[in-house]
Structure 1
Amino acid sequence: MDSIVLTAVKTTFSRLLAGKSRPVTETTVDSERAARLRNRVVDDLVADGTIVSARVEAAMRTVPRHLFAPEASLEEAYHPYNAVFTKTDEHGATVSSVSAPQIQAMMLEQAGIAPGMRVLEIGSGGCNAALIAELVGGSGEVTTVDIDPEVTARATRLLAATGYARVRVVRADAENGVPAHAPYDRILVTVGAWDVPAAWTAQLAEDGRLVVPLRMRGLTRSVAFERTGDHLTSTSALVCGFVPMQGAGAHQEQLLLVNGTNAIALRFDDGLPADPGLLDNAVRTPRAEAWTGVTVGRQEPFDTLQTHLATVLPGFCVMAVDPDLDTGPVTPANKWFSLATVDGDGFAYVTTRRTPDDASVEFGVHALGPGGPALAEAVAGQVRAWDRERRGGPGPRVSVHPAHTPDDRLPGGRVVDKKHSRVVLSWPPQD
């Protein structure tokens, strides 16, 4: 029966997109089975605390997500924590997707959308715009914008086919927002952003809210900002991942391949070290190790450790190791994403090992370079400082200020300078 249902779904959508099908409400798609899967996803997200409001819950139960992801099976479309990739570039990298239900619900909860609001979505796909349309109701307005004509054409077709033709679809580079329909009570960015253009703040209502997956020192957080005059201040920041922004807002990380091996790449979000050549002999020195005694359970989050190290280590970066080329000078627990730092002629990264009872893992630091032992111990000391002072507490407050803002008008904290803005991460005082 399942294969027949999936064939019917694909056949229906082929005809629909070709303009030869009856309206979706009259199709023979197995809507009852899709509804069961959709309700199960929502039940899971309510149970894990992602969905906390009745309005977001109702919207998630209403919008037929699978109709916005015809490439996927019903099971794939309704997996709570997986996105559906809808377009790749010539290199196979994903450039457009339908975000995972968990991410959609999380950002909608951060946004706090109410009936009658005017909302701008940056990054189109259709499904999230339909969810926003449910939340604003008939008296509200939804505008969704994307730079890719294929994406906007697809969103237009699918929104019309599912009964959300009132959503306004605009093709433009979102670096300048969509001024024609501003101001907006809410702006939701559903692509990974490295910066916050001035237009987004300017087009936000004075008491409005911006929710954006913002990349700061290589770490991405979905940050909910409220506007205060010319700057933004965060109310929440949650771990997430998104396909990167295209167009004028695109920003590429810079890679430093460690000399002596093609396997180790250090990824810098805000520029390479002043003299990368100092690392040329780092891998020719013995590896130093420092174990911290700090442990975490297998399911325990430690995202504040990431942001702590990003704010206290001047040379913070992310290390990635090609498993096909790795010759063994480094042995990270995660070959694709390890917290790291460069200090002069050496570099260090954070790793883990299982505890004897196998119930948790212990953080440790490996370092290479002439000063490896001292560097390993210095980074290990910062892991211990996180354990003492910040573990289990709130993450840093994030504020975004215009790029011309002088230092004496910024709050204290780690300043990350970008093209359009100065982003400040400020930790709350410790008890």
Structure 2
Amino acid sequence: MRFLLLATVFFSFAGAVSAATVDDQFRAWLQNDLWPEAKSKGISHATFSAAFDGVKPNLKLPDLVLPGQKPKTPKKQHQAEFGSPGSYFAEKIVAAVSNGGRVRAGRYAATLRQIEKRYGVPGSVVLAIWGRESGFGAAKMPYDAFEVLGTKAFMATRKEMFRQELLAALEIVQRGLAPVGAMKSSWAGALGQPQFMPTSFLKHAVDFDGDGKTDIWNSVPDVMGSIANYLVHYGWVKGRGWGYEVTAPEAVSCSLEGPDRGKPVAAWSKLGVRRVDGKPFPAGESAAESFLMMPAGRHGPAFLVTPNFYVLKEYNTSDLYALFIGLGADRIARGDHRFSTQWGAVGGLYRSDIAALQRALEKEGYDVGSADGLPGFKTRRSIGEWQTKNGRAATCYPDAELVQSVK
């Protein structure tokens, strides 16, 4: 599962510590630190040796910290510009997923019907995730998973997390679920076409084609079945979609956004929230809880989303990712569907600016989630609450003037 954001900067280790020294330290760490724990978890010496045969730390991977040094925030990452959410929905990318999904919806129709019958997850959703994660299997998996996970477990900023993933990868091989040579991954250690981290593979991957192997690298039924199984394990509600694009009148504050501020669909309707296509909400949805979601505040489209939207976020912890999957699934199922509301001209701030804004709001008692420079829903609604408290129109999205005012 791809739940990590790709770093934009890679550290340079030239002149700091020689590669040979790091290699020696890595081998010592493997034998003296990792092996005892792996052995205690039932990993054989043969499996352990095969996994790390010829493996050396890959110093070109992101987010590494040399042994004996402290983590540093790369300057360029700190100053990365935050763009408009609209750029996430570039038509070229959405079209590749939706067009490719429609082709495969016909090709694998029987398998998708079986998946929907067993798991209750629409085939269009499964296809949208498959397309987004690996281009329906076209994306290359150029890395040795043990090289990536070994390097990161030894010297990454989140090495404890990667240590657990590395031990899970060893368990996959030990249990005969995949041979060492098949353990190809992304730069983050995510496996196969669904991009599952090893712990997710162990929890969610399935042998849907019934051949006795769970092969998320080569078997399309296993890939699609595993994606559906993942969503079910995180609470997918059968019979409900992901959400609807809506119009929200000014009287409905954008600060009402969030999964902890849900209301029945009937209550949102009473407040004046309407579907943009003019259709009524399905009668069966009237008493069901839904949530306001405005990824660009008042500068872009608004949505009423179901709990299934937040299940999609379990695949990748991003509002925009879940929204992309929802849009892609709708287009696979219904053709050339697009958002009706345009994205406003927002963005242009540095992540460090937004982080400073978040810290200033935190000092005033607002819960922004995390001062990470990314305007998630807690930051957006905190901005709206601050604007209302200070006599301003609530937009729920950061801009340069707001950054200066809150400071």
| Common topology (TM > 0.5) | no
TM (norm. structure 1) is 0.26
The answer to which structure has the higher helix fraction is 2
Q: What's the TM-score once normalised by structure 2's chain length? A: 0.27
Q: Which has the higher contact order (CA 8 A, sep 6+)?
A: 2
